[in-house]
């Protein structure tokens, strides 16, 4: 839920943002250039002090989709219990967005996970590595053009037999 006056303030500040609502949840699509600035403004001016999650959606082959990736920031105001979803669309070939670790320390691992699964690059991240998969993994498995069963990475190991062990 979000208070109407909070939303009005946000829309007055960022008029290009497309605001919509679904089942009581407010989400706003913010242009990519303004994303960092808008998140900082939401934190400082409107009191959205908690970054609940960062996740990503791959819209490849999605009906009616105009962009490839949608980065999703879930914000919460712990004082007033307001919540808002900020969505930023990212397209190939430039998959770089500005890291929000300077705003919320907790974004560190979330951005690493999004990088691990989707290959979005977060500029300015202090520790930009994979978090779940092995370092030598060569793909981004949650992209829709990656096969569900992988490309044989799961069976690329040496075999230990009785006479070898």
Partner 1 sequence: MAVELPENVVVSKLDELANWCRKNSLWPMPFATACCGIELMATGASRHDLARFGAEVFRFTPRQCDLMIVAGRVVMKMLPVLQRIWLQMPEPKWCISMGACASTGGVFDTYCVVQGIDRFIPVDMYVPGCPPRPEQLIQAIIDLQEKIQREGTIAGKEFELPQRQGRPRALLELPVIQP
Q: Smallest gap, in angstroms, from Cβ of residue 98 to partner 1?
A: 30
Paired residues of 98 in beta bridges:
123
DSSP character string of 48-95 = --EEEEEEEEE-TT-TT---SEEEEEEEEETTTTEEEEEEEEE-SS--
129 binds partner 1 (CB under 8 A): no
- Measured from the Cβ of residue 163, the count of other Cβ atoms closer than 10 Å reads 5
22 binds partner 1 (CB under 8 A): no
Nearer to partner 1, 102 or 150 (CB): 150
* Total chain residues near partner 1 (CB under 8 A): 22
- Cβ-based neighbours of 131, under 8 Å, separated by 6 or more: 109, 112, 113, 115, 116
The binder of partner 1 chosen from 32, 41, 133, 143 (CB under 8 A): 133
Nearer to partner 1, 93 or 147 (CB): 147
Q: Smallest gap, in angstroms, from Cβ of residue 139 to partner 1?
A: 8
Give CA separation, 97 vs 91, 114, 162, in Å.
Answer: 11, 12, 50
149 binds partner 1 (CB under 8 A): yes
- Measured from the Cβ of residue 141, the count of other Cβ atoms closer than 10 Å reads 17
**Which of these segments, 21-29, 79-87, 106-114, 141-149, binds partner 1 (CB under 8 A)?**
141-149
131 binds partner 1 (CB under 8 A): no
State the residues that interact with partner 1 by CB under 8 A: 132-134, 141, 146-151, 153-163, 165
């Amino acid at each position: 839920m979000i208070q109407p006056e909070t939303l009005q303030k946000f829309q007055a500040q960022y008029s290009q943002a497309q605001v919509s609502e679904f089942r009581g949840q407010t989400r706003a699509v913010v242009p990519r250039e303004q994303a960092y600035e808008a998140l900082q403004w939401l934190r400082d001016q409107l009191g959205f002090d908690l970054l609940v999650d960062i996740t990503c959606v791959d819209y490849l082959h999605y009906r009616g989709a105009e962009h490839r990736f949608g980065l999703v920031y879930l914000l919460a105001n712990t004082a007033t219990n307001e919540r808002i979803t900020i969505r930023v669309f990212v397209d190939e070939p430039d998959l770089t967005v500005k890291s929000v670790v300077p705003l919320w320390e907790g974004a560190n691992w979330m951005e690493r996970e999004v990088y691990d699964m989707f290959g979005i690059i977060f500029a300015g991240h202090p520790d930009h590595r994979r978090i779940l998969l092995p370092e030598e993994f060569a793909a981004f498995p949650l992209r829709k053009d990656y096969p569900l069963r992988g490309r044989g990475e799961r069976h690329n190991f040496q075999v230990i037999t009785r006479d070898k062990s």
